[in-house]
């Protein structure tokens, strides 16, 4: 062998030996395997969306003659640029009254929905930070009354299904004159007909999203307020700094990371929200995709690509904002606990105000859904003025036979309806499988990343695990819809479990990572010295110590999956799981069935949340003010 050949062999052996040494450590081997699996499961479905934008779709507009003229054949597959050129360059002529109006395809199908999506995301971010941040400050830093009650009930809107408040808004403010259909509670009680901008569109969508995501701000900002170093504010007090200046120059900079995290999480979640804009009649990228998916499938995929790009952009911003965190030290002051701000008489006014607000957002939806299931004509609250006698019925619950009259459309009552309970069983099966898969993978990611926290590969795996959470839910759903259709697993539990697992891994991985970072490495090193196998170290040492965080990593995907609609609605037919049945009953006009399903879902989620708190001691609001 020549000298060059010997050198090459020597370099190969060195590389091979380094690789063998690397994978002998369980955390490295698991991290390598998980990185490959996450890359495929996350990026490949996204690649299928991009590929779908240049494919021909039978029965869609891109199979017309002008689309066929622009097709090319690559590797035996017919591809076309028509979807892109038609969306961004073509025009549509429509008749408005007696006039014919020509508008670009992009303005109708892209720019207007995109503008609405961005606007409601911005408004939701601003509103959630303002509402949740003020509430967090009052609970943690003032002598506000009823803290335990308020802290517990404030998170209800996030625990409940996303569309709950949207439906409640309809029941409160809709009217036959303005929106069509039955008159809502405000008309029945006060004779008030709210304007259409109040009932439908950007304003109600932004308000509902704000209420739904305000718990994000409360949890993130409240945690910092609660655990803030007292030295920093005491130092300012000793230097006779006014309280308002201390808040602006000391407190707010400390809370800035939580505010940025809230903005990123709320913006990405609101961007992909489907149920709230759907119920409140606002055209966004999500609702536009659903409307275009049948006759403009390729162009609908372009909308999904745009939503996907927002997810990547949010991930980049998240990396930039978290990599340059500042540390603060005191130049004077002594250790101590921050004193609570005395609100004086205002503490009673603010307490009553927040009690009323939380009753409106947390308790009233449950009451209204229960009432809806006993009304002969759901949504009609005329019994408020005419009396309850003759204005209630139990048929929606207790009808034991298929009835075609009385508005039942051949459906049995909820308690006897096997389709509903089969859908509930399917939902529980998917939720359990997603929780087990996402919880296990997330725990392993948290463990391996904490052991390799300075490794670039560990950082990549951590980002790849977190990316699906920053992606709009509909974009992830579209990716798996296209992937599942091409793989022949559409409308199967397997596809739902795959999508749910990828989407919910971040819940478990972040929970496990935060807890593993706090675990001293000497504990496991002592076991290694005694030649205890890795699996025994995990099951007998690490998991028992961090069981609360690990259990939370399993239960969060479970509870989230129970109320998931946006992610799953494209992946299966109506009736596969319970949330997809809501649209079917709404289309049939069986609103009492939808209300009954919502009521059961809310009660189940609240019961499971309570059980989690009692069994594990873990609570979403614990450590903030609800403990």
3-class SS letters over 64-101:
CHHHHHCEEEECCEEEECHHHHHHHHCEEEEEECCEEE
Tens of pLDDT, residues 462-517:
888 888 887 888 888 888 998 898 888 999 999 999 999 999 888 788 777 767 77
pLDDT of 335: 47
Give the angle subtended at the CA of 54 by the CAs of 48 and 55, to the nearest 5°.
80
User: What dotted CATH number matches 31-88+409-619?
Assistant: 1.10.3720.10
Q: How far, in Å, CA of 445 to CA of 512, rounded?
A: 8
Q: How far, in Å, CA of 453 to CA of 200, rounded?
A: 48
In sequence order, what are the residues at sequence separation of 6 or more whose Cβ sits closer than 8 angstroms to the Cβ of residue 206?
A: 119, 120, 123, 124, 127
Q: 90-372 belongs to which homologous superfamily?
A: MetI-like (1.10.3720.10)
Structural domain boundaries of the chain? 31-88+409-619, 90-372
Are the beta carbons of 188 and 106 closer than 8 angstroms?
A: no
**For 334, which DSSP code?**
-
Does residue 298 or residue 117 have the better pLDDT?
117
**Longest CA pairwise span in the chain (Å):** 102
H/E stretch holding 292 reads helix 285-292
Lowest mean pLDDT among 8-12, 53-57, 273-277: 8-12
pLDDT of 627: 46
Mean pLDDT of 290-311: 86
Report the chain's terminal Cα–Cα distance, integer Å.
73
pLDDT of 616: 64
Q: What is the mean pLDDT of the chain?
A: 81
**Structure tokens that stand for 388 in this block:** 């309850």
Q: How far, in Å, CA of 511 to CA of 491, rounded?
A: 31
**Phi, psi at residue 297, to the nearest 5°?**
-60, -45
Tens of pLDDT, residues 342-399:
888 888 899 999 999 999 888 888 898 898 888 888 877 777 766 666 678 888 888 8
pLDDT of 501: 93
Are the beta carbons of 160 and 602 closer than 8 angstroms?
A: yes
**Structure tokens that stand for 76 in this block:** 């035996």
Alpha-helical segments (H) within 378-492: 383-386, 395-398, 418-451, 456-470, 473-487
262 closest CA partner among 363, 151, 122: 122
28 closest CA partner among 444, 427, 477, 488: 444
- Predicted structure pTM score: 0.85
pLDDT of 6: 66
pLDDT of 618: 59
pLDDT of 322: 59
One fold for 31-88+409-619 and 90-372: yes
Are the beta carbons of 225 and 136 closer than 8 angstroms?
A: yes
**Structure tokens that stand for 496 in this block:** 């739902």
Lowest mean pLDDT among 164-168, 206-210, 508-512: 508-512
Position 624 pLDDT exceeds 60:
no
Tens of pLDDT, residues 183-203:
888 888 888 899 999 999 999
Strand partners, 411: 403
pLDDT of 29: 86
């Amino acid at each position: 062998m020549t000298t060059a050949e010997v050198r090459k062999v020597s370099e190969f052996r060195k590389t091979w030996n380094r690789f063998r040494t690397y994978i002998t450590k369980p955390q490295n081997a698991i991290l390598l395997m998980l990185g490959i699996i996450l890359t495929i499961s996350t990026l490949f479905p996204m690649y299928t969306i991009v590929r779908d934008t240049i494919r021909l779709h039978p029965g869609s507009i891109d199979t017309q003659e002008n689309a066929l003229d622009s097709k090319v054949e690559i590797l035996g597959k017919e591809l076309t640029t028509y979807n892109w050129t038609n969306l961004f360059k073509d025009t549509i002529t429509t008749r408005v009254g007696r006039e014919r109006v020509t508008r670009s395809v992009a303005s109708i199908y892209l720019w207007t929905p995109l503008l609405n999506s961005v606007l409601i995301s911005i408004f939701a971010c601003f509103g959630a930070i303002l509402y949740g941040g003020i509430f967090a400050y009052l609970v943690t830093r003032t002598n506000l009354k009823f803290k335990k009650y308020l802290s517990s009930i404030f998170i209800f809107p996030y625990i409940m299904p996303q569309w709950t408040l949207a439906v409640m808004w309809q029941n409160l403010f809709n009217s036959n004159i303005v929106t069509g259909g039955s008159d809502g509670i405000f008309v029945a009680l006060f004779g008030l007909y709210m304007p259409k901008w109040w009932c439908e569109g950007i304003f109600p969508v932004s308000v509902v999203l704000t209420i739904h995501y305000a718990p994000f701000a409360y949890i993130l900002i409240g945690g910092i307020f609660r655990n803030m170093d007292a030295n920093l504010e005491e130092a300012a007090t000793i230097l006779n700094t006014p309280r308002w200046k201390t808040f602006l120059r000391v407190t707010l900079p400390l809370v800035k990371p939580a505010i940025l995290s809230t903005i990123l999480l709320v913006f990405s979640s609101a961007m992909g929200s489907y149920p709230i804009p759907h119920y409140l009649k606002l055209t966004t990228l999500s609702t536009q995709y659903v409307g275009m998916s049948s006759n403009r499938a390729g162009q609908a995929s372009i909308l999904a690509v745009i939503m996907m790009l927002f997810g990547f952009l949010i991930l980049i911003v998240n990396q930039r904002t978290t990599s340059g965190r500042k540390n603060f030290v005191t130049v004077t002051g002594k250790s101590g606990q921050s004193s609570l701000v005395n609100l004086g008489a205002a503490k009673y006014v603010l307490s009553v105000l927040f009690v009323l607000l939380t009753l409106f957002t947390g308790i009233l939806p449950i009451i209204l859904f229960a009432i809806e299931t006993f009304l002969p004509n759901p949504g009609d609250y005329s019994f408020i003025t005419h009396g309850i006698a003759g204005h209630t019925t139990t048929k929606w619950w207790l009808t034991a036979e298929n009835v075609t009259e009385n508005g039942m459309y051949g459906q049995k009552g909820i308690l006897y309806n096997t389709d509903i309970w089969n859908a509930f069983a399917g939902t529980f099966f998917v939720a359990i499988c997603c929780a087990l898969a996402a919880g296990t993978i997330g725990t392993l990611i948290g463990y391996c990343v904490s052991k390799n926290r300075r490794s670039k590969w560990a950082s990549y795996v951590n980002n790849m695990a977190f990316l699906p959470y920053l992606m709009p839910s509909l974009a992830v759903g579209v990716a798996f819809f296209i992937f599942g259709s091409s793989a022949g697993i559409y409308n199967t539990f397997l596809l739902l479990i795959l999508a749910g697992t990828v989407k919910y891994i971040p819940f478990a991985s972040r929970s496990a990572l935060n807890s593993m970072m706090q675990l001293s490495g000497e504990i496991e090193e002592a076991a290694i010295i005694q030649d205890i196998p890795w699996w025994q170290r995990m099951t007998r040492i690490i998991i028992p110590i961090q069981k609360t965080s690990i259990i939370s990593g399993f239960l969060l995907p479970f509870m989230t999956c129970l109320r998931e609609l946006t992610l799953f609605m494209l992946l299966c037919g109506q009736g596969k799981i319970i949330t997809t049945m809501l649209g079917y009953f709404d289309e049939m006009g069986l609103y009492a069935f939808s209300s009954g399903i919502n009521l059961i879902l809310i009660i189940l989620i609240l019961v499971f949340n309570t059980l989690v708190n009692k069994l594990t001691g873990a609570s979403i609001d614990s450590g903030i003010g609800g403990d």
